[in-house]
Amino acid sequence: MEESSNFLSVKRNKKGKESQKHFTKEQSNLQIINQQKLIIIILILLIIILFLIIIYLLLKKDNSNIENLSSNINNITTISQLIDVSKSDELYLEKNKKLHKRLFQYKVDLIPENKNQIHIAMAIDNRFIYPSLVSMASGLYSNNNEKNVMVYHLLFSHDFDLNTSEVFDSLKNRYNFSLNYYIIPNLFDDFKRWMGGTDTVYYKLLLPLLFHDLDRIIYLDADTLIFKDLYGMYNLPFKDNYVLGYPFHDSYKIDEYVKNAVYYINGGVILFNNKLIRKDNKDIELLRFTKENNKKLWFLEQDSINIVFYEKIGILPLKYGIYMYGNVDSFEKSIQIRIRFKLNRTEIIEALEDPSLVHFSGCNPKPWNSHSSNEFKVDEICKRFHDKFYFYANKTDYYEKIKGQYLH
């Protein structure tokens, strides 16, 4: 009995040892598996970290390229340099599209969503701050704010006093719109100018190149007033034309360049077909032609536009291109001489009585010099719209200062 008991005890011990040995083996295998899993996890983490480091370095290099390129862009001082960059350095355009920034852009303003956009460019120097402000106020006051958003692009001269830009910022107190600033370098320093004029007259030539992301844009001189919503004007069909403008004077000034020219448009109110101009490389041709022929041109950049774009120039509906040129008879005569688009008298009268936009091109003095209008015998049409200038000046925060400066 005792021997049997001892036998069972030995057998149990043997079983226990085998069981413990088996358990130890399983535990060891489990540890090995866990170690393998840990190694795999560590490897995966290392791969992820390495991948993130590579992305970071690439982005850093990419941003460095953008900064270097932007730095080079800011150093442009001549039309030749600008032309070289615009055609050879596609990197600039692509990278700055991602940054939502354009050539020479100083301030970028977000555009309100879910509205129709109307893009307007104006060239401004230190002399035309208040007239430009009033022109902008007229457009903002007359815009259908429920449906459209006005996007103003102000092209400042290189010597513009940026401290005075607060004048334009003040419009934000009254209107919901987008306001963008550009500082144009001294590209046109050697170009011909009218007496007392500045190089800002040439800035409109940059629009197709500058606004590479816009298919169209309106250019307005500072001496313009907007009486009605310009959404209709902004979306006029181009019909394969590079620009739409209003007919001005005789075209004999460009006869040397365009044989048998029969029409000519004013440079103060223009709708640019940026898309087609870029497609046909006319943006570069326009700059090159102006640079090479500048000294011989009579009406400077206006001649360039009419010469380079000739055969593909369309005429704006008259209500978008009223300019101050005397009475109905003289107006009708001036715009029907040697132009291919005949305008009837009824259309002229309706446009003069109820225009959407006026340009004080033929007025001397301008509205902000109305105190001397009797001395200069300003025509009746000019007088009628002089008062409108102060109506819109009163839609700004600077009405008293404008009156104080111009009405003494």
Q: Look at residue 69 in the predicted model and tell me its pLDDT.
A: 38
φ/ψ of residue 52, rounded to 5: -65, -40
Q: Look at residue 71 in the predicted model and tell me its pLDDT.
A: 45
Q: Report the distance separating Cα 218 and Cα 244, nearest Å.
A: 9
Cβ density class 75-86: b for 16+ within 10 Å, e for less:
ebeebeebbebb
Q: Which long-range contacts (CB under 8 A, 24 or more apart) does 158-165 make?
A: 158/183, 158/184, 158/185, 158/186, 159/125, 159/126, 160/124, 160/125, 160/126, 161/126, 162/106, 164/126, 164/129
Q: Report the distance separating Cα 112 and Cα 260, nearest Å.
A: 47
Q: Report the distance separating Cα 229 and Cα 4, nearest Å.
A: 114
The closest of 323, 286, 283, 277 to 305, measured between CA atoms, is 286
pTM: 0.77
- Taking a C-beta distance cutoff of 8 angstroms, is the pair 135, 123 a contact? no
Whether residue 355 has a cis bond before it, omega within 30° of 0: no
Q: Look at residue 297 in the predicted model and tell me its pLDDT.
A: 81
Secondary structure string (H, E, C) spanning 144-201? CCCCEEEEEEEEECCCCCHHHHHHHHHHHHCCCCEEEEEECCCCCCCCCCCCCCCHHH
Q: Domain spans of the chain?
A: 103-406
3-state class of 102 per DSSP? Answer: coil
Q: What single-letter amino acid sits at 238?
A: F
Q: Report the distance separating Cα 225 and Cα 187, nearest Å.
A: 29
Q: Look at residue 270 in the predicted model and tell me its pLDDT.
A: 96
Q: Report the distance separating Cα 284 and Cα 87, nearest Å.
A: 8
Q: Look at residue 237 in the predicted model and tell me its pLDDT.
A: 96
Among positive and negative, which fits the CA dihedral 399, 136, 219, 179?
positive
The CATH classification number of 103-406 equals: 3.90.550.10
What's the N-to-C CA distance of the chain in angstroms? 137
Largest CA distance in the chain: 146
The closest of 183, 179, 182, 180 to 140, measured between CA atoms, is 179
Q: Report the distance separating Cα 313 and Cα 334, nearest Å.
A: 18
Question: For strand 105-107 and strand 178-183, is the pairing parallel, antiparallel, or unpaired?
Answer: antiparallel
Q: Look at residue 64 in the predicted model and tell me its pLDDT.
A: 44
| Per-residue pLDDT tens digits of the chain, which is 408 residues long | 555 555 445 455 555 555 555 556 666 667 777 777 888 888 888 888 888 888 877 765 544 443 443 444 557 777 877 777 666 555 455 555 545 678 888 888 888 888 999 999 999 988 889 999 999 999 999 999 889 999 999 999 988 888 888 999 999 999 999 999 999 988 888 887 776 678 889 999 999 988 988 999 999 999 899 999 999 999 999 999 999 998 776 666 787 888 877 778 889 999 999 999 999 999 999 999 998 888 888 788 899 999 999 989 998 888 887 765 555 666 666 665 545 566 677 777 788 788 899 888 767 667 777 544 444 444 566 677 778 899 999 999 999 999 888 775
Q: Look at residue 45 in the predicted model and tell me its pLDDT.
A: 87
Q: Look at residue 282 in the predicted model and tell me its pLDDT.
A: 93
Q: Look at residue 289 in the predicted model and tell me its pLDDT.
A: 92
**In the numeric block, which tokens belong to residue 311?**
């055969």
CA angle 304, 310, 314 (to 5 degrees): 110
**In the numeric block, which tokens belong to residue 271?**
């709708």
The closest of 263, 269, 315, 307 to 287, measured between CA atoms, is 307
Q: Look at residue 65 in the predicted model and tell me its pLDDT.
A: 40
Torsion region of 240: left, alpha or beta (phi above 0 gives left; psi -120 to 50 gives alpha): left
Q: What single-letter amino acid sits at 73?
A: I
**In the numeric block, which tokens belong to residue 373?**
């209008």
